[in-house]
Amino acid sequence: MNKSAVVDAVAAKTGQSKKDTEMVIEAVLDTIKDALQKEDTVAFTGFGTFSVSQRAAREGINPATREKIQIPAVKVPKFKAGKGLKDAVRG
């Protein structure tokens, strides 16, 4: 399911126009992105939690040359599913 399909499904469930629904979905996604950029956590009870995780620097190997390379530390987004979402997926 892509963004367009999500917009269509939400618009159908809420009775709102697709244009208004797309604006709301964009606003929600932008808000989550902004919070993660500030390293805040965004939690939706029963759905899940978005957070930022630190991935440590490590040594890797370039597969083409077999040369050892340093991979720098980086921040990555993380999602942990909540109980309600897990139960819904499990059936």
The total number of structural domains in the chain stands at 1
The residue written with tokens 């009870």 in the block is 45
51 burial class (0-12, 13-18, 19+ CB within 10 angstroms)? middle
Q: Using an 8 Å Cβ cutoff, are 50 and 85 in contact?
A: no
pLDDT in tens, 47-80: 999 999 999 999 999 999 999 999 999 999 999 9
pLDDT in tens, 19-55: 999 999 999 999 999 999 999 999 999 999 999 999 9
Domain that holds residue 50: 3-90
* Domain CATH for 32: 4.10.520.10
pLDDT band at 91 (very low <50, low <70, confident <90, very high): confident
Read off the pTM: 0.82
Beta strands in 1-91 (DSSP E): 42-44, 48-55, 58-61, 68-71, 74-81
